[in-house]
Amino acid sequence: MIYANESVDRLKKCGTQSKKKLVTVGINTVRDLKNIPNPNDFVLPKGLPRKTFVVVWHHAQDASDDDTPPPIDHRKDNNPYISKYGDEWEREIKKSVTFSTSVIITDYVEHIMKESERVMKDTKHSEDWMVYHDALTLMTAKENKEWMRQKGYLKRWILPTDDLYVNLPELKSKYNNNPIGNSPEFMPWDAHLNSDVHASMDYHCLVSKELDDDDPRKFDASTPKKMLEGYKRILDPGILGISPPSKRIIQDVSRTILAFKMVRVAEGCLIDEKQMRTGRRHEISNVRSENWGGTRTKKISFRIRTSVR
């Protein structure tokens, strides 16, 4: 918006030199130009083409008759983006460089719910399916949980309901009805499924190494962009979606339920993690529980050799 009290160089086709010429005949603001009844009858200063002056005059007629409103410091508002962009604030905030590598938590939740509904459609659990997600801070935030409740999503989220904190009000406000802990046993994706996907990506890169770069079967981790494309093909059911397979997801979710039962038996108290772990994680927990710190032993590395026959 252009306002009546602004300088004429705010108008189209009115640069620095045109402004200087208009000032010599008493035209300083948009209002001065707008009040000229007929641009063809106005006596122009030397060096200013009539054609240019007419274009500038017509643009001035579209300007507001009001003076420029006082500046608004949107940063002082509770939500600066709503203050500046109104109903379009979410669309605008997604364009921000600051958030270019982030996803808004509500979009994340929407994705979880819509994809789960799509996968469970036409199955015996099409109406009573549930989702599990570990204690992600933004998901457990009061504002997000209230939004999920309004959207009907919260009832789909598996949450602890056994009131372990009934006599501990200082803990109840934070932990009641929220996923608890930051342990791999409570997070199937972090426990094993992430490793499955990475192993699958490595395997596909290995077996397709000799294929031409333009071969659609090629997997390549030589650049971040190519790596992203490879992981999408492995993860996205709409493209290829082979890892993690359903069997492995069920295995890890079942382990999570077992871990929850162990916590319940312990009445919410801290339990020895060694009881829930085997393999590498069990060995690490053993070392740490007996002697924290000390000399670090490097893991044995293996080199895979391949040959073409």
Q: Which of the residue ranges 17-21, 168-172, 174-178, 252-256 has the most confident prediction, judged by mean pLDDT? A: 17-21
Q: How far apart are CA 176 and CA 142, in angstroms?
A: 12
pLDDT of residue 266: 77
More confident residue, 116 or 274: 116
Q: How far apart are CA 67 and CA 50, in angstroms?
A: 28
Q: Quick check: 172 and 166 in contact, CB under 8 A? A: yes
Report the topology of domain 8-61.
Answer: DNA polymerase; domain 1 (1.10.150)
pLDDT at 273 over 70: no
Segments of the chain assigned to CATH 1.10.150: 8-61
80-115: string of b/e by CB count within 10 Å (b at 16+)? ebbeeeeeeeeeebeeeeeeeeeeebbebbeebbee
pLDDT at 40 over 80: yes
Compute CA distances 212 → 205, 209, 255, whole Å: 12, 8, 42
pLDDT of residue 97: 85
Q: For residue range 53-63, what is the model confidence (pLDDT) as tens digits? A: 899 899 899 88
pLDDT at 153 over 50: yes
157: helix, coil or strand?
strand
pLDDT at 309 over 60: no
- Return the sign of the alpha-carbon dihedral for residues 153, 154, 159, 161: negative
pLDDT band at 221 (very low <50, low <70, confident <90, very high): very high
pLDDT band at 302 (very low <50, low <70, confident <90, very high): very low
Q: Quick check: 33 and 27 in contact, CB under 8 A? A: yes
pLDDT of residue 220: 93
pLDDT at 179 over 90: no
Q: For 7, list phi and psi in degrees, rounded to 5.
A: -65, 150
pLDDT of residue 101: 82
Contacts of range 118-127, beta carbons closer than 8 Å, 24 or more positions apart: 119/237
pLDDT at 141 over 70: yes
128: helix, coil or strand?
coil
Mean pLDDT of the chain: 81
Q: How far apart are CA 174 and CA 141, in angstroms?
A: 10
Q: For residue range 224-249, what is the model confidence (pLDDT) as tens digits? A: 999 999 999 998 877 777 888 888 88
What is the H or E stretch that residue 68 is in?
Answer: none
pTM for the whole thing? 0.55
Residues 163-168, mean pLDDT to the nearest whole number: 69
Q: Is 132 exposed, middle or buried (0-12, 13-18, 19+ CB in 10 A)?
A: middle
Share of the chain above pLDDT 70, in %: 82
pLDDT of residue 240: 72
Q: Which of the residue ranges 89-103, 183-197, 198-212 has the most confident prediction, judged by mean pLDDT? A: 198-212
Residues 109-126, mean pLDDT to the nearest whole number: 92
pLDDT of residue 137: 85
CA angle 199, 308, 216 (to 5 degrees): 55
CA angle 39, 44, 50 (to 5 degrees): 60
**To 10 degrees, what angle do helices 142-151 and 105-120 make?**
40
